[in-house]
Amino acid sequence: MGTDDLFKKRREERRQRKHEYRMPKANSYLIVTEGEKTEPFYFKGIQKHIQEKIGGRIEVIPAPTIDIHGEGCATGKLIEITERLVKEAKIIYQNVWVVFDKDDFEDFDQAIAAGMDKGYKVAWTNQAFEYWLYLHFHYSDAALHRDTWRKKLDEIFKQYQLGDGTYQKNYENIYDILDTYDGVNTAISNAKRRMAGFRAGQDKPSKYDPGTTVQELVSELKAYLDET
């Protein structure tokens, strides 16, 4: 190997080591969801608006890095998957969020505690993510089965002719659909009202039905959109 080739090889090795070194990245988000459709589509909708707004501004602002993964698995397994994604990531995420519902999972409270113990933030909903979606239109503190929340959403979609006139999990533009009548701000307000009586560390999320902390994640992300 000639001197020039050796120099190029060493330079490439240094470049690769530099690339592999993980640096903390400010305003970075890793969002891992239990659902494979509705939840990822919802947060990708926010992601799209954030990137469009910040990308169009003249002043230099650190744009948030938002990586979203829809896994479709049980809650406890979701924490393990999140841990693997964090370890394998090329950057150190400043904010790691795990999004999941209670549904019929018995490990709901344990999964929330496990995620928080690892330093992750948890956006949970009891019983289903559809409760959070319903809050975009109305307030409710009724403990209803997840199937009932879906039926109520279906009625709303028909009433206001949203989407195709029926609620479906595969709307890629679900965030925009729900925000048609300033629904996101409405949902945040309704969720805060519902959770005002929740005592973190004392009340079990599995017993707080209905309940949600999705508004905490959405409020963080929406702050980028609300900047003037």
The beta-strand segments (E) located in the chain are 23-33, 65-70, 91-101, 121-126, 211-212
Cβ–Cβ < 8 Å for 131, 190: no
Cβ–Cβ < 8 Å for 124, 215: no
Sequence-distant (≥ 6) Cβ neighbours of residue 70 within 8 angstroms: 33, 35, 36, 37, 39, 40
Cβ–Cβ < 8 Å for 15, 36: no
In this prediction, residue 190 carries a pLDDT of 99
pLDDT, one tens digit for every residue, the chain (228 residues): 555 665 555 566 555 544 445 666 668 899 999 888 899 999 999 999 988 888 543 333 335 567 788 766 667 788 989 999 999 988 899 999 999 999 867 889 999 999 999 999 999 999 999 999 999 999 999 999 999 999 999 999 999 999 999 999 999 999 999 999 999 999 999 999 999 999 988 899 999 999 999 999 999 999 988 875
Assigned token pair, 187:
């949902």
Domain residue limits, the chain: 27-226
CA distances for 185 relative to 25, 49, 89, 178, 182, angstroms? 28, 15, 32, 10, 6
In this prediction, residue 17 carries a pLDDT of 47
In this prediction, residue 120 carries a pLDDT of 96
How many CB atoms are located within 10 Å of the residue 41 CB? 21
Sequence-distant (≥ 6) Cβ neighbours of residue 99 within 8 angstroms: 31, 32, 33, 34, 35, 39, 43, 122, 123, 124, 129, 214, 217
Assigned token pair, 19:
């690339």
In this prediction, residue 142 carries a pLDDT of 98
Cβ–Cβ < 8 Å for 182, 222: no
Cα gap 114→102, rounded to integer Å: 15
**φ, ψ dihedrals at 138, nearest 5°:** -145, 155
Sequence-distant (≥ 6) Cβ neighbours of residue 8 within 8 angstroms: none
CA distances for 117 relative to 120, 159, 214, angstroms? 7, 43, 19
